[in-house]
Amino acid sequence: MKSKLIKVVLLLFVICLLFTGCLTSTLGVEQTIVIQSVGIDFDFKKGEYEVTMQCFDLSNTSAKGEIQGGKNSKIITAKGKSVEQAIMNTSKITGENPIYSQNRVIILGESILKNGIDKGFDVFVRDYRTRSSTPVAVARNFKAGDIVKADEKGLTAFPANTLQHVLESGEINSLTTEVTVMEFVNLCQEKTSSAYIPALSLEKKDDGIYAKINGMGIINDQKLVGFLSSDETRAMLWVINKIESGTILLENSSIGIATLEISASKTKTETKITKDGLLQYNIKIDCSLDLMEVDFRKECALDEKEIITLESEASNYIEKEVEKVIKKCLNEYKSDPFRFGKRLWVKSPESYRHLNKEWDEFLPNIKTNVSAEVKIRRVGRYGVKE
């Protein structure tokens, strides 16, 4: 009995040794800054990084987890010759240790992306404390720090949580898609592909300034080459098979103004080398739509013929939008966010070996053949003729 007791006590002692925190034992929670979102800008004049962090304010929460006095987050800005140094420089002002593991969003300023992503982003790839699943975004026309400081409109506990939800809203509206650190770096690492990254802007309203999604940034050879609008982003998502939901508005359809909701979409891209040695990509989009709202023209109603016409109009709309965005990326931006080069690599490694070194120059020569097959599944009851 006695020996058993001794064993239990010894075991408890050993277990106690294992109850350590995830940081140095000398620092308690009260000396820790839990980073919620990070915005990084680059000051070309001083050659310094400016890091703006939204942090969880532990002093403003009660033991029960209730938030006291409204805001539960603090904004901290610091500068440094590297991003890591800038983040650690916050301890000069706060005396607290910043931790990244709870970071929800990384926002990069245009200045960072124009300077080249190989500088200023390495910390999020190399540092063991950051998470590869954190979403990344670019601040469009504003500083990344301003986006981090924006007021919150969502119904979440933290402003950073709202930002995270905004970036995930592609699942609802297909006007963006979440790009994590892992996906972003993977695209940047691919020799011929260009990376894409959701763009956030600010919108001034009566009750504050809010961050909103504003298309996509295109990064080629580690640098930002331009942006796509929200509609162009959706068209791009069609090509890369990342459409999940969202609506299409046909303003001049045969029946009037029709709003259709995407219920399902699947894109297949076939790589073909033509007889004259050119590259052709056949993009086939299969899309199911639901008619959600119609503003009928005079004396117009829905019958089978009209629905077929509407399907054809929706199909034309998708094809035109997709062709437009492909042209813009390949010709204007000389970028390949569609991973056409990667597809060629997989399909014909030898052809890729010849082309990959001058891929950017070759991009305008690529032929695409877009075909969209649209099926309207539900039309409702009102206005339907037999």
Partner 1 sequence: MGEKVKVSIEQIFVVMLLSRLFITLTDIPPIIGSMEVTDYLFRVLFFILLVFISAIPVYLTVKNDTNANILDRCVCISPIFGKVVAFIYGITFIYVIIATMARFDMFATSIIFPKTNFTGFLVIIILACMFAAILGIESISRSSTFIFVVFLVSFLAVVFSVYKKVDFLNFSPIFYNGAGSTIKAAFISMPRTFELAAVLMLMSKIKGNIKKGMTFWIIGMGLFQTVIIFLMVGVMGDYMKTQLIPAYTLSVVAEYGFLQRMDVLLTSTWILCVYIKVSVMIYLFKDCMKTLISDKYDNLYIIVSSIIVSVITLFLNPKAYSINYLLNPIIPLVLYSLTVIAIPCIVLISEKVKDVKNYEK
Residues making contact with partner 1 (CB under 8 A) = 14, 17-18, 20, 22-25, 125-126, 128-129, 131-133, 180, 182-183, 185-186, 189-190, 339, 342-343, 345-346, 349
- Give whichever of 10 and 301 is closer to partner 1, judged by the CB atom: 10
Token pair in block for residue 137 = 């975004």
Shortest distance, CB of residue 167 to partner 1, whole angstroms?
15
Q: Report the alpha-carbon distance of residue 107 to residue 139 in Å, rounded.
A: 6
Q: Report the alpha-carbon distance of residue 106 to residue 101 in Å, rounded.
A: 12
> Given CA atoms 56, 59, 61, 64 in this order, what sign does their dihedral have?
positive
- Give whichever of 212 and 342 is closer to partner 1, judged by the CB atom: 342
- Give whichever of 4 and 126 is closer to partner 1, judged by the CB atom: 126
Q: Report the alpha-carbon distance of residue 85 to residue 73 in Å, rounded.
A: 22
Shortest distance, CB of residue 192 to partner 1, whole angstroms?
12
Shortest distance, CB of residue 142 to partner 1, whole angstroms?
28
Q: Report the alpha-carbon distance of residue 21 to residue 356 in Å, rounded.
A: 48
Shortest distance, CB of residue 330 to partner 1, whole angstroms?
18
Shortest distance, CB of residue 352 to partner 1, whole angstroms?
8
- Give whichever of 168 and 303 is closer to partner 1, judged by the CB atom: 168
- Give whichever of 24 and 59 is closer to partner 1, judged by the CB atom: 24
Helix 230-239 with 304-327: angle, nearest 10 deg: 100
Strand residue runs (E) in 83-194: 97-99, 105-108, 136-139
Q: Report the alpha-carbon distance of residue 101 to residue 129 in Å, rounded.
A: 6
Shortest distance, CB of residue 27 to partner 1, whole angstroms?
9
Token pair in block for residue 309 = 């016409």
- Residues 14 and 77: beta-carbon distance below 8 Å: no
- Give whichever of 75 and 240 is closer to partner 1, judged by the CB atom: 240
- Residues 130 and 166: beta-carbon distance below 8 Å: no
- Give whichever of 24 and 274 is closer to partner 1, judged by the CB atom: 24
Shortest distance, CB of residue 8 to partner 1, whole angstroms?
15
- Give whichever of 191 and 367 is closer to partner 1, judged by the CB atom: 191
- Residues 37 and 105: beta-carbon distance below 8 Å: yes
CA angle 13, 16, 18 (to 5 degrees): 120
Shortest distance, CB of residue 346 to partner 1, whole angstroms?
6
3 state SS of 157: coil
3 state SS of 1: coil
Q: How many CB atoms lie within 10 A of CB 102?
A: 14
